[in-house]
Amino acid sequence: MNYFVTGATGFIGRFLVARLLKREDSRVFALVRPGSEYKLEALRRRLGVEERRLVPITGDLTRKSLGLSKRDLDDLTGQIDHFFHLAAIYDLNADENTQRYTNIEGTRQTLKLAEQLQAGCFHHVSSVAAGGLYPGTFSEDMFEEASGLDNPYLLTKHESEALVRQESQIPWRIYRPSLVVGHSQTGEMDKIDGPYYFFKLIQKLKDYLPNWFPLVGVESGHFNIVPVDFVASALDHIAHQPEGNGQCFHLTAERSYNFSEVMDIIAGAAQAPRMPVRLDNRVFNAVPGFVKKGVNALTPKALINQLLESLDIPPTIVQFLAFPTQYDNQRTMAALEGSGIGVPDLESYIQQLWDFWENHLDPERDQRKDELQPLPSLPDKVEDKIVLITGATSGIGKASALKLARAGATVLVVARTPEKLEETLHEIKQVGGIARAYRCDVSKLESVDDLVKEVLADYGRVDILVNNAGHSIRRSVVNSVYRFHDFERTMQLNYFGSLRLIMRLLPSMLEQGSGHVINISSIGVLTNAPRFSAYVASKAALDSFTRCAASELAHQGIRFTTINMPLVRTPMIAPTKLYNHVPTISPSQAADMICDAIVRQPKRIATSLGILGQVMHFITPRATETIMNTGYKLFSDSAAAVGRRERTPKRISREQAAFSRLFKGIHW
């Protein structure tokens, strides 16, 4: 099969060409400008393909028939099965004439060439920008409904797409990617664009503020972000489907993020201050007009522009921070069904994006004086390591086991239920990992002793211990007066069980001169969460032991990390139906915290809100106690906590919703 590609050496183009050339007997004819042939040669070497399969076609996007020679026209006529048009200008700072000349007239000439070559199908890579600033959800069938096209980029993307729709004489398909970022596995990116404009700001915050310092964000705009490898894979797959001519496909993620969420996710990768408190953009609508005018008068536009430029943020991007449009992608999802092609959550690959930017795209990378060596990758840290995880068949433990096995660790999964152990082993094998299951009830000390004997007999050591198994009880003190066993149960598993594992494995760690113990604690230890006295006390006991042990064993190569987890959506919180309606993090996000602990080996990992809670309890204990007491009164004990049948509430009150969002991740 033969392909003609414009923009083949561009960012998306390089990855698309790689996928096209994986197809049997495929050939790609790539348009290159005179003097740029070396770019295609570099791409050919990178892909390891022979010259006859990746052929340069010299031309120019702005010339008639793209400037192809008569010989090339004669040779290619009737030979092109698919014509991909990716070449365009994407630069918010480019002037309107340049964008119009390249994006619109370039598309016109490209379309005429495809018709002249009698191509089987014309694939036009547009952008969600073609919908402009439409207020609402823009579907794949919408086009004329586009609005807010004042910006030259939005306008030229819309008009170039109109050309294909109105003038094409051959079958066509249109693709609208959303904000395209780097490769989800490698982070590879070729320029500063989209969310990358704010990387420098976050780096500055990291330089000048401690990472626990909480910032206030604004929940404004809708940002739909996709990695380049998804875009290229989706393009390749959909282009070869028998159905789809005359249709448009949104290459977008299932969910969008508001501005504060994007900044918070990037800050997490950068180890910069987070934004635990976020204000709804509508709150500013209540500000009187005279106040807004006064603020504007005190902050001259030139001063704002100078500040933005010092952070490498183009002033023109500010108008897009309240981007109003979301995108429906049902047709695309239907076309990709069964292909295995999907958009990963931004949280799962943001670290790769940040690391690549910091090492390759940061304009100050040569001037910055980094005292620390670059961190190793997770595979570097866990290759040939034995990692034991308790509570490994659900929630945080299972998600961590899968991530670590995929990274190359030998994972020892520990839990009570044989059926769930076998299920987890099967899933690990499906991702190519190595694991072994051990049945153990960590709350029974004799069972822990048997576990350690068996593991040491099998492997001789444990390099990393993750004490994840735990039991939580949500019940107020007044309702626990006659339930002393609540405190005994939590202490038995959360403290004594974890402590027994540490003490039994410690001699072998000391003998080998290394070891890492990761204890999964709770944000409640930092915030003194009401209704969790039994749970928090047991976790606090383990935290205290850990700090003492770390001080004694630091010189012997034994490392300890405490992770004060926020509220995670796991089976442990399922009995409290109220939690179905409050913000939580996913088990995968919690597992990322464990992976981060393994790579960096910090003393503690906690959210900025958790650290703030601890600081506030120290600095202003009475005021902080009042806040926590307000939360206690606002919520109530669950039905199960007072001996009644638990039912899922249809909704929570506006006050409860606002309070839980303001203190996201804290147990109430």
Q: How far apart are CA 570 and CA 574, in angstroms?
A: 7
Radius of gyration of the chain (CA): 28
Classify residue 513 as left (phi > 0), alpha (psi -120 to 50) or beta.
left
Q: How far apart are CA 184 and CA 226, in angstroms?
A: 9
Q: What tokens were used for 134?
A: 């439409």
Residues linked to residue 29 through DSSP beta bridges, in sequence order: 4, 55
Q: How far apart are CA 394 and CA 616, in angstroms?
A: 34
Q: How far apart are CA 413 and CA 422, in angstroms?
A: 10
User: Residue 161 phi/psi, 5° resolution?
Assistant: -65, -35
Q: How far apart are CA 641 and CA 479, in angstroms?
A: 8
Buried residues in 423-444 as b, exposed as e (16+ CB within 10 A): ebbebbeeeebebbbbebbbbb
Residues linked to residue 414 through DSSP beta bridges, in sequence order: 390, 438
31, 30, 68, 35: which is closest to 49 by C-alpha?
Answer: 30
DSSP state string for 45-57? HHHT--TTTEEEE
Select which of 3, 349, 535, 579 is catalytic.
Answer: 535
Question: Taking a C-beta distance cutoff of 8 angstroms, is the pair 130, 156 a contact?
Answer: no
DSSP state string for 502-533? HHHHHHHHHHHT-EEEEEEEETHHHHT-TT-H
Question: Taking a C-beta distance cutoff of 8 angstroms, is the pair 605, 593 a contact?
Answer: yes
User: What is the DSSP pairing of strand 172-177 with strand 122-125?
Assistant: parallel
Task: Output the CA torsion sign for 21, 27, 30, 36.
Answer: positive
Q: How far apart are CA 3 and CA 20, in angstroms?
A: 8
Tell me if residue 535 is catalytic.
Answer: yes
Q: How far apart are CA 514 and CA 553, in angstroms?
A: 10
Question: Taking a C-beta distance cutoff of 8 angstroms, is the pair 564, 604 a contact?
Answer: yes
Question: Taking a C-beta distance cutoff of 8 angstroms, is the pair 239, 16 a contact?
Answer: no
Amino acid at the residue 209: L
Q: How far apart are CA 455 and CA 464, in angstroms?
A: 13
The total number of residues written for the chain in this structure: 668
Coil/strand/helix, residue 222: coil
Please tell me the number of Cα atoms within 13 Å of 171 on its side-chain side.
Answer: 12
Question: Taking a C-beta distance cutoff of 8 angstroms, is the pair 424, 431 a contact?
Answer: no
Question: Taking a C-beta distance cutoff of 8 angstroms, is the pair 88, 10 a contact?
Answer: no
Q: How far apart are CA 87 and CA 465, in angstroms?
A: 51
Q: How many whole angstroms from its chain centre is CA 112?
A: 41
Any idea which residues carry the catalytic annotation?
A: 535
